[in-house]
């Protein structure tokens, strides 16, 4: 988390400097005087002690973080945009070293303000520097805009702002380059007179020979140090990879039938990339999105703990326990995986809930149905019917919430509630009985309140059953909800239908009552034939759930 924030803030500091610096360059289209006037304001920011520390500290730290990111990668196989951004970011310090030495270092050594006239004349007078400067501008700008794009594209407002941001992103570097050429040509014409040129460089020429010699030899030394650091990281990667191969490997059994072998230490995403298996990763594997998420089947019980960065991302989409981020998961045992998003997914799906897939667990399903709702609606105006139904569902929803249940599904005149999602199954069963009693109580109060509106009281049927089900975020992406599916959910729905046959309010399975530790022996017991079940299900028919415990 700290590393990611450092990378972001150092990048933003450098982006601020680049934008202001290129804007300064662009003023060369007006005049060198305009460039110098604006440079004074820039200097007040970036040449002040805090500005100098922030700028060059950010530059050094950003480069070190890039080297660290390079070392941490287990494979250099990555999408083209990632490799391009990484390569440009590592190249910038090598190209920038001479420019920094010729301006700020020169200024610090000699104590003379190196302005645009000296810089432009020096650059244009050297055939390599003349073309290196526009190349450097383009490389810096491409790296900057790629970084900003892949950071901001996860923001919902970003796509709407591209109409305004895109022209700026294209024009600013072009204006800076064109202005640089124009201003340099102006300086070339001005310094054609040797006396004028000598006047510009008199302070530099008057510097002590040892300072000039030290400055001239500084650029190759800096580049050598940068190169040694880069090579050291590559060698460290090679040593680490050899050691990791000795630690063993793990196998990824992909849902498409592929088996990927990876050294222990590789993340799932790195292993898939190394094996050239396409896999989604909008943010490039930094846990800033969840597009690389996978559902883990066999092997889920032996996975390493979820790190904080991954936990924060998964919490945003309310991911199931067996859903992990491929970029953060580094297994040490074999596992089965299924990608939950297509490999070519866009940034729109970065934090989209729904489609997360489910996980199997024991839950208590409570089905509730409003009796004779069709006849009730036929006898009333649409507005009156909707008003009463809304009141009914509001009371049922409040009863579920008050008894630690989860309102999982709405269909016509009925609903499904789930219990035991945040507790053990025994507590979930007891809460489901409390929920049924609370629904009955609230329905009585609602009937009393709506007595003038009703020809006869509203009645409900409730079916309760516990068992294994697939629980997960389901439904269309725009309106997903946490619900459950499975045979045991269907059994609860059948029990609710049996309330009509047994002329009661609640039908509950015997296994649910036993799990809750509630004695229902004083109520009628039935062996119910459930469609789809070979054996009958033992159930109790209860006229009023509020009487449970009273016989």
pLDDT of residue 478: 55
pLDDT of residue 358: 56
Top-confidence residue, 298 or 397 = 397
- Beta strands per DSSP E along 167-315: 249-254, 259-263, 293-296
pLDDT of residue 176: 95
C-alpha 268: how far from chain center: 17
CA angle 529, 506, 437 (to 5 degrees): 155
Torsions phi, psi of 464, nearest 5?
A: -130, 130
* Mean pLDDT value across residues 245-254: 86
Residue with tokens 């190394």: 274
For residues 275 and 333, is the Cβ–Cβ distance under 8 A? no
Q: Whole-angstrom Cα distance, residue 175 to residue 549?
A: 83
For residues 89 and 141, is the Cβ–Cβ distance under 8 A? no
> 334 burial class (0-12, 13-18, 19+ CB within 10 angstroms)?
middle
**Which of 261, 121, 126 lies closest to 194, judged by CA?**
121
Top-confidence residue, 444 or 154 = 444
For residues 495 and 507, is the Cβ–Cβ distance under 8 A? yes
pLDDT of residue 477: 55
Tell me the helices (H) and strands (E) count for the chain, helix number first: 18, 13
Helix (H) or strand (E) holding 408: strand 406-411
406-411 and 460-474: which strand pairing? unpaired
537-542 and 524-528: which strand pairing? antiparallel
pLDDT of residue 347: 61
Note the pLDDT tens digit of each residue in 175-202. 999 999 999 999 998 888 888 888 777 7
Domains of the chain plus CATH, in order, are: 2-238 (1.20.1300), 248-352 (3.10.20.30), 358-547 (3.30.70.1230)
Note the pLDDT tens digit of each residue in 86-134. 899 999 999 999 889 888 888 887 777 788 888 898 889 889 999 999 9
* Mean pLDDT value across residues 430-455: 91
CA angle 244, 255, 477 (to 5 degrees): 115
* Mean pLDDT value across residues 201-220: 77
pLDDT of residue 359: 66
Tell me the β-bridge partners of 3.
none
Over the chain, what is the mean pLDDT?
A: 86
Taking CA atoms, 10 is separated from 5, 7, 244, 267, in Å, by: 8, 5, 32, 26
Tell me the β-bridge partners of 296.
337
Q: Whole-angstrom Cα distance, residue 190 to residue 182?
A: 12
Which one of 354-358, 374-378, 414-418, 467-471 scores highest in mean pLDDT?
Answer: 414-418
For residues 363 and 484, is the Cβ–Cβ distance under 8 A? yes
The residues, ordered by sequence, that sit 6+ positions from 405 with a Cβ below 8 Å of its Cβ are 366, 417, 418, 419, 431, 432, 435
pLDDT of residue 380: 62
Note the pLDDT tens digit of each residue in 354-412. 444 556 788 999 999 988 776 666 666 676 777 888 888 899 999 999 999 998 887 76
Q: Whole-angstrom Cα distance, residue 433 to residue 548?
A: 8
> Encoding tokens for residue 429?
């069963």
For residues 491 and 533, is the Cβ–Cβ distance under 8 A? yes
Torsions phi, psi of 192, nearest 5?
A: -65, -25
At residue 353, does pLDDT exceed 60? no
pLDDT of residue 378: 66
- Residues found in the chain: 551
């Amino acid at each position: 988390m700290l590393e990611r924030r450092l990378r972001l803030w150092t990048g933003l500091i450098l982006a601020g400097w680049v934008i202001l610096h290129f804007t300064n360059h662009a003023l060369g289209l007006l005049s060198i005087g305009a460039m110098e006037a604006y440079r004074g304001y820039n200097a007040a920011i970036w040449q002040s002690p805090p500005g100098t520390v922030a700028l060059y500290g950010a530059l050094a730290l950003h480069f070190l973080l890039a080297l660290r990111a390079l070392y941490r990668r287990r494979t250099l196989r990555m999408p083209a945009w990632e490799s391009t951004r990484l390569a440009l970011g590592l190249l910038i310090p090598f190209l920038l070293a001479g420019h920094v030495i010729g301006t700020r270092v020169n200024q610090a050594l000699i104590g003379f303000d190196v302005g645009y006239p000296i810089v432009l004349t020096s650059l244009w007078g050297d055939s390599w520097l003349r073309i290196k400067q526009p190349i450097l501008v383009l490389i810096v700008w491409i790296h900057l805009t790629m970084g900003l794009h892949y950071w901001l594209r996860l923001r919902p407002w970003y796509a709407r702002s591209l109409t305004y941001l895109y022209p700026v992103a294209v024009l600013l570097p072009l204006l800076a380059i064109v202005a640089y050429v124009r201003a340099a040509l102006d300086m070339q014409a001005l310094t054609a007179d040797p006396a004028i040129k000598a006047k510009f460089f008199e302070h530099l020429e008057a510097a002590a020979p040892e300072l000039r010699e030290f400055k001239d030899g500084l650029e190759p030394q800096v580049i050598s140090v940068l190169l040694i650091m880069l090579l050291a990281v590559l060698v460290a990667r090679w040593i680490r990879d050899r050691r990791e191969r000795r630690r063993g490997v793990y196998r990824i059994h992909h849902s498409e039938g592929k088996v990927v072998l990876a050294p222990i230490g590789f993340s799932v995403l790195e292993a898939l990339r190394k094996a050239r298996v396409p896999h989604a990763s909008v943010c490039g594997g930094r846990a800033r999105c969840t597009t690389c998420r996978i559902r883990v089947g066999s092997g889920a019980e032996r996975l390493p703990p979820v790190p904080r960065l991954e936990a924060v991302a998964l919490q945003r989409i309310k991911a199931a326990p067996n859903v992990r981020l491929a970029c953060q998961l580094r297994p040490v045992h074999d596992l089965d995986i299924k990608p939950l998003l297509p490999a070519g997914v866009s940034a729109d799906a970065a934090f989209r809930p729904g489609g997360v897939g489910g996980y199997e667990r024991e839950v208590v399903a409570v089905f509730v149905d409003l009796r004779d709702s069709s006849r009730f609606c036929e006898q009333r105006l649409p507005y009156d019917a909707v008003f009463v139904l809304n009141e009914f569902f509001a009371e049922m929803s409040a009863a579920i919430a008050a008894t630690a249940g989860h309102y999982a599904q709405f269909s016509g005149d009925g609903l499904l509630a789930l219990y035991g999602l945040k507790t053990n199954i025994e507590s979930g069963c007891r809460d489901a009985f409390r929920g049924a009693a609370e629904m009955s109580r609230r329905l009585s109060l609602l009937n009393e309140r709506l007595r003038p509106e009703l020809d006869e009281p509203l009645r409900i049927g409730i079916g309760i059953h516990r068992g294994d089900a697939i629980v997960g975020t389901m439904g269309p992406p725009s309106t997903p909800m946490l619900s459950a599916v499975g045979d045991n959910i269907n059994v609860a729905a059948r029990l609710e239908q049996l309330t009509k046959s047994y002329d009661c309010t609640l039908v509950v399975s015997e296994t649910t009552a036993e799990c809750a530790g509630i004695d229902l022996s004083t109520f009628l017991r039935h062996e119910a034939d459930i469609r789809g079940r070979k054996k009958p299900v033992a159930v109790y028919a209860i006229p009023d759930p509020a009487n449970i415990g009273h016989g």
